Amino acid sequence: MEPETLIALAASHRQELMPNAHSRRLSRATTNSLFRQDPDTRMKRDSWSEADIDDLPLEESDNFERKSGALFDDRNAFLNALAKAASAFANSGGGSLILGVKDDGVPDGLPAQMGRATMRDWIEQKLPNLLSYPLSDFRVHTVARADVSRIPSGRVVVVIDFGDSLLAPHQDTKSHLYYVRQAGRSIPASHSYIELLRQRLTSPTLDFNLEGIEAEQFAVGKDYVFVEFQLKFRLENTGRVAAYKWQLNPRAYTHDRENGLDIHFSREKYPVKMPETRVPVRFDYTILPGCYESHNMRVGMALRPLSKTAEAMMAEVRSLENLTMTFSLATENCPGEPKEFRLGSHFKVNKIVGKAVDMIPDFFEP
């Protein structure tokens, strides 16, 4: 559906293009966890050595966490902590849990044996049923000792590598909570985050960013210069389901210009006739998981320089510095999260004015 033509607005006014636009936003840390696509963070390693453990930074991250072996002195507390961490990593794209190393990086180890079973085998048996759905995308390692080892005699360090579980979200059966990694900690996940995890198994998950703005066409009106800009977006499928149908929609804009601003997203609503431009016909708009798509959107703006000089035109373009626009990317069964961009940072003032001088030279005074 074509957005309605926008009319001139007063200073600092926010224009809603679609009044029912969903305004909920995810925090940056939550979004990064949900959309994590770096293969290194999802990879389950073949082995871990003591040197690998020593090379880890002291500060924990969303990708790894240490637990002291002293925690194992209370078996229930150990299993509770293991369930919480497993839920968080499995729901956040994966990571590594190092057991038997204190927060300062010094290994204190876990008991090497649990009855007849090795500590590695015991954890491997216990871990799946600490979560609902039961966890399967993980790998348990006993850390290989160095020739001169800091690991106490008779004890072991264990690393659990968690993958980006296809069955997420996973609930901790001990606390009946869902956890997520954020700012290097395991915290309860929000309802919206859990719903997005569920959707990614059945619905496409698309993200998008504004990468540039180009002035394409110019036309002279009665008391203005009308400019058609191309907003250049990069779309990415960050989920596991192909997106066959999608649409990038403008939602709102904000500016602080005292004399208002005319913006149009439909060529039929332009106040002047612009030269026709050919758009290649496409039949397939599919974006496969892990793939990217470039997408351009036309936006027409009426600029009113105070005089017919290049300097006045530059000042007029610079007055758009604080112009922001909000867009959402809808898919087959999801309206998309609103995302705001500051357009002013993408305007190349000299290039825009230089192109205006070339395309509408009669407008400018000698």
Contact 65, 85 (CB under 8 A): yes
CA distance 151 to 35: 36
pLDDT of residue 332: 80
pLDDT of residue 268: 87
Lowest mean pLDDT among 12-21, 92-101, 105-114: 12-21
pLDDT of residue 6: 36
Confidence of residue 72 (pLDDT cuts 50, 70, 90): very high
Average pLDDT over residues 309-325: 92
- Looking at per-residue pLDDT, the higher value among 30 and 314 belongs to 314
pLDDT of residue 336: 85
Confidence of residue 16 (pLDDT cuts 50, 70, 90): low
Domains of the chain (ranges, CATH numbers): 14-27+205-363 (no CATH), 39-199 (3.30.950)
Residue 27 has pLDDT above 70, yes or no: no
Lowest mean pLDDT among 42-46, 62-66, 157-161, 199-203: 42-46
Helix/strand/coil for 53: helix
Residue 83 has pLDDT above 90, yes or no: yes
Highest mean pLDDT among 65-74, 235-244, 335-344: 65-74
Helix/strand/coil for 299: strand
Rounded to the nearest 5 degrees, what angle is found at the Cα of 157, between the Cα atoms of 151 and 161?
150
Mean pLDDT of the chain: 85
- DSSP 8-class letter at 143: P
Cis status, amide bond into 193, omega within 30 of 0: no
Residue 49 has pLDDT above 80, yes or no: yes
Percent of the chain with pLDDT over 90: 63
CA distance 78 to 243: 42
Average pLDDT over residues 318-340: 89
Lowest mean pLDDT among 47-61, 125-139, 278-292, 334-348: 278-292
CA distance 4 to 27: 30
Tokens of 29: 């840390």
Confidence of residue 255 (pLDDT cuts 50, 70, 90): confident
Confidence of residue 71 (pLDDT cuts 50, 70, 90): very high
pLDDT of residue 281: 66
Average pLDDT over residues 216-233: 93
pLDDT of residue 15: 55
Rounded to the nearest 5 degrees, what angle is found at the Cα of 174, between the Cα atoms of 168 and 177?
50
Residue 141 has pLDDT above 70, yes or no: yes
Confidence of residue 42 (pLDDT cuts 50, 70, 90): very low
How far the first Cα of the chain sits from its last, in Å, is: 44
Please enumerate in sequence order all residues whose Cβ is within 8 A of that of 253, keeping only pairs 6 or more positions apart, or say none: 6, 14, 15, 17, 263, 323, 324, 325, 326
Residue 145 has pLDDT above 80, yes or no: yes
Residue 335 has pLDDT above 50, yes or no: yes
What would the pLDDT profile of 357-366 be if each residue is shown by its tens digit?
Answer: 999 999 998 7
Please give the helix or strand (H or E) that residue 52 lies within, else none.
helix 50-55
Tokens of 268: 């039929």
Average pLDDT over residues 199-220: 88
pTM for the model stands at 0.53
